[in-house]
């Protein structure tokens, strides 16, 4: 159990400088903060969360009744950034004259030093539009959305997290288990597995789309397909930004509850 606790703590801390700032801020507030309600929020509550988190019994319970992802998220309850900000502001307020400006500038420099440019991570990119989603997602959703009702569409894996950010009218055929546990219940992973194969079977794609009442399937134009989707009721509906949108003709597109 200790290995699990240490692993999650290490993952949360990263390279550690922000956590050093947080611990310094905690000590500072513990010494200087006299207001009871703020001590509860910034000191007592985080200490209680940490004690619960590092308790091996908590790790055992989480392993039995939840999963590592839920256990890790306990650390999200720590008010790291606002505690650092509060302690820094409280310290600067106590100063006078040039010292206030110099200390504030020094703290800002340390904050910058403790982070890194988010775009150095391949998972993040500069926003292409006001919705902060890839433009392909917006364009594809605009092409398939039907005002006033939901449609179910199977997007490529790289776009799954963005669709719901753009519109609530386009929903996924995949549930939590399929995306993160990958098929514990076997209910809808067959479609995802098929779409992620090097070559997609048109017959299997259409069959799984029917099983999940999936209105559309979106594939890259470069994705090889064995068989003709049209022979299995999958119409080549449109081409958008390098992707092919296949429309499942077996679905009812007029009934808002279909």
Residues 170-204: pLDDT tens digits?
A: 998 876 555 544 444 444 568 888 998 999 999 99
Q: Is the same domain home to 47 and 86?
A: yes
Residue 125 lies in a domain: no
Q: Are 54 and 103 contained in the same domain?
A: yes
Say if residue 171 is in the same domain as residue 231: yes
pLDDT (0 to 100) of residue 175: 67
Q: What torsion, rounded to 10 degrees, do the Cα atoms 210, 214, 216, 222 define?
A: -70
Looking at the chain, the whole-number percentage of residues with pLDDT higher than 90 is 50
- Same-domain status, 139 and 228: yes
Residue of 197, 196, 200 whose CA lies nearest to 155: 196
What is the pLDDT of the chain when averaged over all its residues? 86
Q: Does any domain span residue 122?
A: no
- Judge whether residue 116 has pLDDT over 60: yes
Distance between CA atoms of residues 237 and 144, nearest Å:
9
What's the rounded mean pLDDT across residues 109-115?
A: 86
How much is the pLDDT for 31? 95
Q: CA 102 to CA 13: how far, in whole Å? A: 28
Residue carrying structure tokens 């386009």: 170
Per-residue pLDDT for 258 more than 70? Answer: no
Q: Are both 145 and 238 inside the same structural domain?
A: yes
pTM over 0.85, yes/no: no
Q: How far is CA 76 from CA 12, 50, 199, in A?
A: 9, 11, 40
Give the domain range for residue 22.
2-116
25 occurs within a structural domain = yes
Instruction: Check whether residue 11 and residue 84 sit in a common domain.
Output: yes
User: What's the total number of domains in the chain?
Assistant: 2
């Amino acid at each position: 159990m200790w290995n699990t606790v240490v692993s999650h703590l290490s993952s949360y801390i990263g390279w550690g400088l922000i956590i050093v700032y947080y611990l310094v801020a905690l000590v500072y507030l513990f010494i200087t903060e006299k207001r009871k309600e703020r001590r509860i929020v910034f000191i007592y509550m985080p200490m209680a969360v940490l004690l619960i988190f590092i308790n091996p019994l908590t790790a055992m319970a989480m392993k039995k009744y939840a999963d590592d992802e839920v256990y890790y998220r306990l650390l999200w309850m720590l008010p790291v950034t606002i505690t650092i900000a509060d302690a820094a502001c409280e310290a600067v307020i106590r100063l006078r004259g040039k010292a206030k400006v110099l200390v504030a500038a020094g703290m800002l420099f340390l904050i910058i030093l403790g982070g890194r440019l988010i775009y150095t991570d391949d998972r993040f990119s500069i926003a292409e539009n006001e919705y902060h989603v890839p433009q392909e997602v917006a364009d594809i959703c605009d092409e398939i959305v039907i005002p006033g009702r939901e449609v179910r569409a199977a997007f490529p894996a790289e776009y799954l997290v963005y669709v719901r950010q753009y519109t609530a009218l386009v929903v996924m055929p995949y549930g939590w288990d399929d995306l993160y546990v990958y098929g514990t219940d076997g209910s809808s992973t067959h479609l995802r597995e098929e779409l992620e194969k090097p070559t997609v079977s048109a017959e299997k794609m259409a069959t799984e789309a029917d099983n999940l009442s999936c209105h559309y399937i979106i594939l890259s134009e470069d994705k090889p397909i064995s068989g003709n989707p049209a022979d299995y009721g999958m119409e080549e509906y449109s081409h958008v930004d390098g992707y092919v949108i296949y429309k499942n003709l077996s679905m009812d597109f007029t009934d808002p509850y279909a």
